[in-house]
Amino acid sequence: MYAIQSKAQQPRLQAGDLPVLFWCFTESNFPTFVLPNTMFGVLAGLAGDVLTTRTSPPSLQVMLLVRLPFILFNWVTVFIFDLANQRLPESVQEDKINKPWRPIPTGRITGDQTRQLLLAAIPLTLALNCWLGVGQESCLILLITWLYNDLRGGDGLMRDGFIAIAYGLFNRASLCIALGGYALAPQGYMWIALISGVIWTTMQIQDLKDQQGDRSRGRLSMPLWLGDTVSRWLISLFTLAWSLVCVEFWELPLWGLFAPLGMAVCVGLQLVLQQSAAADALAWRLWCLWLVTLYLLPLCASWSGQSSRWMNVGCD
């Protein structure tokens, strides 16, 4: 339960404070979640009929025009997750250790005010996402947000599964916005599922830098469950293995390995050779760049003509 505060004790919120709060709640997820998911939709959309029923890729000018909806969808939807996540008492306790600059630990806003902001933000976000044509995905993401935060699904061994499913929904919605009415082909669904597998087995890299705070709230993250050293080696091996699997999925020649395998090696070396909170934060960002190199593979396959054998059957 939240401690009851008098109105005099609570910070006064003005309409002009909202843009700053919006950024402060989502700042850590913008370069590591919002932008990569946006890139998934943009790059997959540019790949043309490799993933969809589109017979030719849209022009670059068209893709530039539709990037704003990608950013809006990913940003406002992750804003809902961050509000739900950061308002809980155990999350505030964790953030005081791991991320003391966030709005609630710094006193910009209280947990109860965050709850009230969440009540207003959810219907507005649902309305926006329905207008963008991804209302179903948005509702499922809100369900996972509730399971992850309020029911504390994010504190147990199911945590990584919830994150992988959420990434799949975010990526599917980003691609649907890019398609503008075109349906996904079977290979599109397979690619989204494959990326969710990547997330499920490597996303634990974000937990390495947060072990102290996770331990304080009793969260059973992989580094706390299997140990720091084992986790580092597992993540390193999985990034290398997934690079090979994804390139093989698209049947790319050897040059297709250059970017994903090179970034996977950088991630692995950073994890194994540099072990500190600052180094782990850098490894997390390198992992996000590695993910974007995987998102480039459908476009590479489209250029190389390696995937023309797939039948594009709309299924939506």
pLDDT tens for each residue of 246-268: 999 999 988 889 999 999 999 99
Number of residues written out for the chain: 316
Residue 212: inside a domain, yes or no? yes
Query: What was the pLDDT predicted at 63?
Result: 58
More confident residue, 106 or 47: 106
Q: Is residue 229, in this structure, part of any structural domain at all?
A: yes
State the Cα–Cα distance between residues 269 and 134, nearest whole angstrom: 39
Compute the distance between CA of residue 50 and CA of residue 250 in angstroms, rounded to an integer: 10
Give the C-alpha separation, 7 to 173, whole Å: 40
Residue 6 lies in a domain: no
* pLDDT for res 181: 63
Average pLDDT over residues 98-117: 91
Residue 162 inside a domain? The answer is yes
pLDDT at 64: 54
What is the domain extent for residue 256?
17-304
Under 8 Å between Cβ of 110 and 5 = yes
In the 8-state DSSP scheme, what is residue 315?
-
Phi, psi of 305 (to 5 degrees): 75, 20
CA distance 81 to 152: 13
Distance, CA of 76 to CA of 45 (rounded, Å)? 21
- Average pLDDT score over residue span 187-205: 94
Of 10-19, 247-256, 260-269, 273-282, give the lowest mean pLDDT range: 10-19
The tokens describing 107, both together, are 């006193």
Classify residue 312: in a domain, yes or no: no
When pLDDT is averaged across residues 118-139 and rounded to a whole number, the result is 93
Across 179-194, average pLDDT: 85
Q: How many domains does the chain have?
A: 1
Would you say 285 and 260 are in contact if contact means Cβ atoms under 8 Å apart?
no
Determine the pLDDT at residue 31.
84
Judge whether residue 148 has pLDDT over 90: yes
Nearest to residue 314, comparing CAs of 179, 192, 186? 186
pLDDT of residue 56: 61
The span from the CA of 177 to the CA of 39, in Å, is 12
Work out the pLDDT band at 312, boundaries 50, 70, 90: very low
Q: Is the pLDDT of residue 19 over 70?
A: yes
pLDDT of residue 305: 65
Phi/psi of residue 4, nearest 5 degrees: -75, 125
- Which of 288, 296, 303 shows the shortest CA–CA distance to 258? 296
Q: What per-residue confidence (pLDDT) applies to 316?
A: 46
Please give the average per-residue pLDDT across 128-145, as a whole number. Answer: 94
Domain-located, residue 258: yes
pLDDT at 6: 47
Mean pLDDT over 23-47 rounds to 87
pLDDT value, residue 311? 37
* Residue 11 domain flag: no
Residue 299 or 294, more confident: 294
Q: pLDDT averaged over the chain? A: 85
Within a domain: residue 279?
A: yes
Neighbour tally for 13: CB within 10 Å = 15
pLDDT confidence of 307, banded at 50, 70, 90?
very low
Q: Using the 8-state DSSP alphabet, how is residue 81 labeled? A: H
Do 287 and 239 contact (CB within 8 A), yes or no? Answer: yes
